[in-house]
Structure 1
Amino acid sequence: MELEAIYENVERRDIQNTTGPQIQSHGQDEGKDLKRRSRCLVLITVGLGLICVLLLVFIILQNITITAERDLINSYKNTVEEFNQTINSLQDNYTDLMTEKHQLQINFNSLSQKKLELETRVKDLTAEKNQLQRNFNSLSQKKLELESKVTSLSDKLNMDASKRVCFFISNELKSWSDSRQYCRERGADLVIINTEEKQKFISSLVKERAWIGLSDTENEGNMTWVDNSTLKQGFWLRGEPNNQDGNEDCIELMPSHPALNNWNDLPCSEKRKGFCEK
């Protein structure tokens, strides 16, 4: 505002000088210089104003740029944080997946080992089954042979009709003397075995341990049958008779052992079924 007032005063003086009486030439030159100075001053003022405006615009633009850069940097920071969170999450997922993969690998190896063991077991069971089948076939053949021998023995035992023999076994477990009494009450007596053929035949009929008609109750060490005949041929288990504890005086037949040698001595008070012969 002050510059504009000075400018107006200068112009007003110029007008007054042109309309008033003419002064000396030296005053005219000073007026021209003053006018030129005023114009320069105006130009300088305008230039300074433009510079201020430009500075103001620059400052505003700089602030806008800084704000935009700050927002951009904040956006970049947020994006970087999100990326970092995503990377961390992916890293955690990767770690979990690797752990799960490792566990699955362990499970796979364990299952593979079990599969190999089962395959080996199947092979062993198949071989065992084949062996059992062969044993079964062999036993079936032996059974047929034994049945044939039993039939032959039965035929031999029954050749003489006048001497036909009947065998039966008691239903109750009794001592040797009670078992003999059981047989006598039914017109029989405990069985007498005096031949190898009869031993095999009786053994094939007996399914559990049973008394036979042999003892040394009358004379220790002198085995006699219930018909008072002396023992001529025995079919003893290995190590028998041993008269353990000094009171094993009666004889049983044990079918769980080989058919030919299955006699055992034991106390007469033991409970067994009696095998009777009539």
Structure 2
Amino acid sequence: MTVCLELICVLLLVFITLYITITAERDLLKSYKNTVEEFNHTIISLQDNYTDLMTEKDQLKNNFNSLSQKKLELETRVNDLSPEKSQLQGSFDALSQKKLELETEPRKLSTHGNDRFFISSESMSWSESRQYCRDRGADLIIINTEEKQRFITSLFKEDMFFGAWIGLSDTETEGIMKWVDNSPLNRGFFDRGEPNNMGNEDCIEVDTFRDPVNNWNDAPCSMGKKCICEK
């Protein structure tokens, strides 16, 4: 009886041990299975990501090739436009020069009898004004009749707010007025109180905002004024 009881206890102990071992192995197998499944999911996810990356890489490669082709086309276009740009720049420079020439040309050209007159578009000293006229085949205007004086006043009234030089001065001898052709002044059309030689005023201007006939004024020859030229 005692031996049987001991045998049963041994068998029970073996059974318990086997049960524990089998349960542990089963749990371990289940854990391994779960780990393998997770690995499989990870591998599948990595494969999907790899596929997406390869697709994106192909797209980027295509975009790069497209941009490279576009860059080549633009470089070719730039090279083709370079001669056109040079031509346009040359035309622009020529037009700018022409504009500058036109801006420095006389603003008006008018006739009175056989005489031709024009007024400068820029202000200069009396000597510079005379050279300006000479460079254009003319000289500063000589006014020796009232008819001519009235004509000049009416013609350039709107252009000479600050007056305009005429070809009369007493630069050689103070008080002795002479025209640019060295002829003496026989009749003048000075404004009241002029010439007064205030501040070494040796050159004569027409100031059309004064009297329509008697509107001459003496002023310093270095002052910048427009001028009236006569051919």
* TM-score when normalising by structure 2: 0.50
Instruction: Give the number of the structure whose alpha-carbon radius of gyration is greater.
Output: 1
Q: Name the structure with the higher helix share.
A: 1
Which structure's relative contact order is higher, taking Cα pairs within 8 Å and 6+ residues apart? 2
- TM-score, normalised to structure 1's length? 0.41
